[in-house]
Amino acid sequence: MQHAIKRHVKGLALSVIAMSFFLTNCYAGVTLTGTRIVFIEGQKEKIVRTSNKGDQPALVQVWVDDGKIAVEGTAQEAPFMAIPPLFRMEPGKGQSVRVRYLGQDLPKDRESIFWFNLLEVPPKSDEEVTSERLSLAFKTKIKLFYRPAALTETSAEQGNKLQWSQGRDSELIADNPTPYYLSFYTVRVAAGGVTQELSLSMIPPFSQQKITLPSALRNKTITEINFELINDYGNGVTYQAKNSGGKGFIVIKK
């Protein structure tokens, strides 16, 4: 029954998304509270709050997927269900969505990541009815982390475990030896009297990320790295990594 509901919901989502390619006006009134969902092993469900800050009613669809495209236009199923999957929101009103864990096995030694999706389809205006035009559907997605019960810390507490190194003159290497997904607000690198911000979004557990340095930092020794990790509530936690010479980069929490 659950799989049948999920297939129906996904089919509707794909139809609406496909239709949105032919839409002309963009309208986004429905918002989410929070920028991420952290699901701790043992929890049955989490509540996601939505609100319609616009001045028109909207049809809203929600679902969870793993973000991987299996076949063009489709996504893999995830072990979570959003309830209700489809609802109407009046202007100025809110709606609580329950994200329920369906119980499938997930890794016990590291976090897993999924995506909570919200698709808003506003109604036609009088002008659109007479001109046979449609409003543009608006999609929002945020990360959903599943955290095993054995992981008693949070991802933002892992900053001093992150291992930085300078590779060849054109790259900076960040090693994440932890079982957490490390998400970044900012990464600023100083070398040769020049400081620049680099693009780094997230490093999965037990993995390495190589960042190509901009031309202004190449062929220079990196002396300092300032970075912010995003905590469970969407706030930044600041760290500083200083080059200590032969001992590599030493990271401290600021």
pLDDT tens readout for residues 9-67 = 444 444 444 433 333 344 458 888 889 999 999 999 999 999 998 888 989 999 999 98
Task: Answer for the pair 143, 185: CB distance below 8 angstroms, yes or no.
Answer: no
Closest CA to 175 of 184, 165, 185, 186: 165
* Percent of residues, the chain, with pLDDT higher than 70: 80
Q: Per-residue pLDDT tens for 130-169? A: 455 555 678 899 999 999 999 999 999 999 999 999 987 6
CA distance 118 to 206: 30
Q: What is the pLDDT of residue 3?
A: 47
Question: Which residues neighbour 49 within 8 Å (Cβ) at sequence distance 6 or greater?
Answer: 32, 33, 34, 94, 95, 96, 97
Q: What is the pLDDT of residue 22?
A: 38
CA distance 156 to 176: 12
Is 127's pLDDT higher than 70?
no
Q: What is the pLDDT of residue 19?
A: 39
Higher-pLDDT residue of 118, 123:
118
Q: Please work out, in degrees rounded to the nearest 5, the angle formed at the alpha carbon of residue 12 by the alpha carbons of 10 and 13.
A: 60
CA distance 115 to 82: 11
Mean pLDDT over the full length of the chain: 84
Q: What is the pLDDT of residue 74?
A: 54
Pairing of strands 236-243, 249-253: antiparallel
Q: What is the pLDDT of residue 17?
A: 42
